[in-house]
Amino acid sequence: MNLSHRSLAWALLLATLAGGVAGLVAGSDGWSWRALHALVDPGSEWHLVATEIRAPRTLGAWCAGALLGLAGAIAQGLFRNPLADPYLLGSAAGASLAVVAVLAAGVALWPGVLPAALGGMGLVGAAFAGALGGILLTLLLARGASQTLRLLLAGVVVGVMLTAVADLIVTTVPEALRARQSFMLGHTALLGWDGVAWLAGGLLLAAPLAWRLARTLDALALGEDGARSLGLDLARLRAALIGALALATGLAVSQTGLVAFVGLVAPHLVRRATTATHGYLLLASAAMGGVLLLLADVLARSVIAPQELPVGVLTAVLGGGYLLVLLHRRGGAA
């Protein structure tokens, strides 16, 4: 399949609109079109459900997926590796450790007081700070962003190390296990308008920055020597790209936890649909990631209603299945 850029853009727009409508009508009681009508009817009993629960959850899921899709495209271009994902630099491990550490401190020092005082936003802030901290630790261990291989290895080491520390804390304070499990499975049910504002604001900052740096990713596709021959300051430009990657990943992880495979699969789907330079690829991957997480969120609400599936588990199953089929087909073609 080789669509034109305009055709793919229209397809993504239509998928976003369809997913948005589905997100508004899908709920624990099945699909109800009354929620869609209630958006413009303040007197309806469904108005509060539509405007304060389903609408922010739907829009927030799209924004979080868009941030992950954008971050995945940056990571794959930066490392010149189609298997790179947004969590490669230790952001997920850092966020998980921060959430566990905050809850464990609350249990050990102020039982029942600190977790209640923090609430959702306190844990969101801890997750965001932990995600950025994990990436900064990776940069420190790699001595900056000048060498791609060293940066990649440092990310792996930091991820393993921070995960081990979180495991140790959970072993010592088992009460923190549930929060960590919820974080690792991914969630969209708690998204509200505050979370949507943070996600949308981060997307409006990260997407233009990444787009302006897209030519650097095009140059890196030629190899390190080829990029340097064009007169690019690779260390500075890599640092800027990692900044955009850290912002996008940190915000998405802080609001939705560890949602697997969206950032990995979204750029793959765009590259299979069309041929493009990184300027278009980055923006299309963001839109594709938004569509993927939005549709996964609708499925998570609908498959076993009135109960919900963890959205991160669903994206892992579907994304992993897609990659297995892709590898099987390529293996057969070889």
Within 10 angstroms of residue 181's Cβ, the number of other Cβ atoms is 12
Q: Which helix (H) or strand (E) holds 30?
A: strand 30-31
Mean of pLDDT values over 219-244: 79
| Phi and psi angles of residue 27, each rounded to the nearest 5 degrees, phi first | -155, -175
DSSP assignment of 252-303, as one string?
HHHHH----SHHHHHHHHHHHH----HHHHHHHHHHHHHHHHHHHHHHHHHT
Could you report the per-residue pLDDT of 23-48, keeping only the tens digit for each? Answer: 888 877 777 777 766 676 676 777 78
Q: Which CATH class is domain 5-333?
A: mainly alpha
Could you report the per-residue pLDDT of 97-107, keeping only the tens digit for each? Answer: 888 888 887 66
> By percentage, how much of the chain surpasses pLDDT 90?
35
256 and 64 in contact (C-beta within 8 Å)? yes
Distances (CA, A) of 93 to 14, 180, 199, 237, 244: 35, 11, 20, 25, 18
3-class secondary structure per residue, 194-242:
HHHHHHHHHHHHHHHHHHHCHHHHHHHCCCHHHHHHCCCCHHHHHHHHH
Domain map (residue ranges) of the chain: 5-333
Name the band, by pLDDT with cuts 50, 70 and 90, for residue 115: very low
pTM score: 0.89
For 6-20, 97-111, 269-283, 292-306, which range has the lowest pLDDT when averaged over its residues?
97-111
270 and 70 in contact (C-beta within 8 Å)? no
**pLDDT for 14:** 96
User: DSSP state, 82?
Assistant: T
**pLDDT for 201:** 94
For 127-136, 163-172, 233-242, which range has the lowest pLDDT when averaged over its residues?
233-242
